[in-house]
Amino acid sequence: MPTEGLLPPESLARYADAIVKASLAVGPGDTFVVQGEPEHRELLAAVAESAYRAGAKYVDVMTADPLVARACLLYGSDDAIGALAPWTRRLLREATAPQGASAYITGAGEAGYLDGVPPERIATSYQRLAKQVAFVRRLQLNMEARWSIAAWPADHWASQVYPKLEIGRAKRKLAKDLLNFCRLTDADGAGTSGWTKHLKTLTRRSAKLTKLGLTGLELRGPGTALDVGLSPGTRWLGGPETMKDGRVIAPNMPTEEVFTSPEAGATSGTFRCTFPLSFRGRLIEGLRGEFSGGRLVRLEADSEADRDFVAAYIDTDKGGRRLGEVALVDASSRIGQARRIYYNTLLDENAAAHIAFGSGFGGTRTESPARGVNRSTTHLDVMIGSPKLEVTGIGARGKRIPLIRDGLWQI
């Protein structure tokens, strides 16, 4: 007999439909690939069902077990480190083709699965794999392939968010949080209407920012004094994104941000993270640093080992120490209003403003090729926002335009 689900069947189906139909526009004849961990099975199966109901021709579920990845890093031969199976490459080609779509399910099922693994093996694995799948990231960032990321509770993750609850209750509570953050409760409207309405709000907000024609941003908060340059023709994005072929997708579920890619060589000042960074099964506390001439010149964390862990990742690519994204979130965010750290980048980056090291987004420019966008195989979001963060836009002739004050949008 099936075990009791984390959500009622109708709520689970609504969540799956929001991923498959409302966010990825999966339809007749499509190839759909969904990736997650073994603990995500309930949602993986629901998403597959939604895709078949939408008319998908093929649905493939890929499960990535962190303990299998650990085994490879610890005991695999040099040839095994960072190896990509030829059948996986073919699958990714199909998933990024015009009739393909991909969904990624996040929610850590294993704590510290990379503990004790030599950092150089982790870095080598990432470098090799990143080169082999660079075509996937390029197509996704340039809005030429359909993709989206969503979350589902796992034992380890739920115990982090709700440590005082029994694990089953913690997972059910977290699942309800996800529905609320994605505007998929009965109070938000029928079906996925609440989600699509929210996406339109973000579209209007990003359009206002684009119309301002900003040349720079000032971000000021506890430990943060960043000046970020913006290229001429900078476009702000948020909510749904229009692909080059005209189809509309929503890459992040949930989302509260409006974002752009700054001029890669024009960031200076200091930053301090206001949230711990949950990265590859590790919790990084107190991440902070300094930029000069667009490049990260100082990186620190409460633990030297954690600092080295993050540095090893961003240094796998020459563009890893430059910014690829700056994203703004105000206090109206439902995730931020929960006043809880979710130990998951997808959620925490939508609770507060953030920046990202590494690759930028081609769609953030009105011209092609995209001017000043950082090119990298890495992308690492870190949260710097708080109710005390103030954001000022620099307009034409140096005019200063308040964007966020007292935690709220001013535009």
Please choose, from the candidates 106, 108, 104, the residue with its C-alpha nearest in 3D space to the C-alpha of residue 96: 104
The SS3 call for residue 100 is: strand
Overall pTM > 0.95: no
Is the sign of the CA dihedral 148, 153, 154, 160 positive or negative? positive
Distance CA 180, CA 1 (A): 29
| Residue 97 domain-assigned (yes or no) | yes
Q: Residue 186 has what pLDDT?
A: 95
Do 70 and 15 lie in one domain? The reply is yes
Q: Which domain range does residue 228 map to?
A: 200-409
Q: Is residue 340 part of a domain?
A: yes
Helix (H, G, I), strand (E, B) or coil at 261: coil
The whole-number pLDDT of residue 282 equals 86
DSSP string, 287-320: -EEEEETTEEEEEE-SSHHHHHHHHHHHTTSTTT
> DSSP 3-state assignment of 31?
strand
- Distance CA(84)–CA(370), nearest Å, equals 30
What's the rounded Cα separation, in Å, for the pair 143 and 249?
A: 9
How far is residue 353's CA from residue 242's CA, in Å, rounded to a whole number?
Answer: 23
10: left (phi over 0), alpha (psi -120 to 50) or beta: alpha
The enclosing domain of 140 has a CATH number of: 3.40.1830.10
Any domain includes 251: yes
Whether 4 is covered by a domain: the verdict is: no
- How high is the pLDDT of residue 280? 83
402 forms beta bridges with 392
- According to DSSP, the β-strands at 408-409 and 400-405 are antiparallel
Please check whether residue 195 lies inside any domain of the structure. Answer: no
CA distance 81 to 127: 10
What are the pLDDT digits (tens) for 267-311?
999 999 999 998 887 899 999 999 999 999 999 999 999 999 999
**Do residues 136 and 279 share a domain?**
no
Structural domain ending residue among the three candidates 165, 188, 211: 188
**Is residue 33 in a domain?**
yes
Q: Give me the number of domains the chain comprises.
A: 2
Do 133 and 211 share a domain, yes or no?
A: no
Sheet holding 390-394, edge to edge: 295-300, 288-292, 267-272, 224-229, 216-221, 390-394, 400-405, 408-409
Residue 81 DSSP SS3: coil
Alpha carbon distance 174, 152 (integer Å): 8
**For the chain, which ranges sit under pLDDT 70?**
1-3
The answer to whether position 84 is within a domain reads yes
- Residue 322 in tokens: 């430059």
| β-strand partners of 325 | 356
Query: What are the backbone dihedrals phi and psi of residue 130, each rounded to the nearest 5 degrees, phi first?
Result: -60, -40
Are 374 and 308 found together in one domain? yes
215 and 174: one domain? Answer: no
Q: Which domain-ending residue is among 159, 188, 217?
A: 188
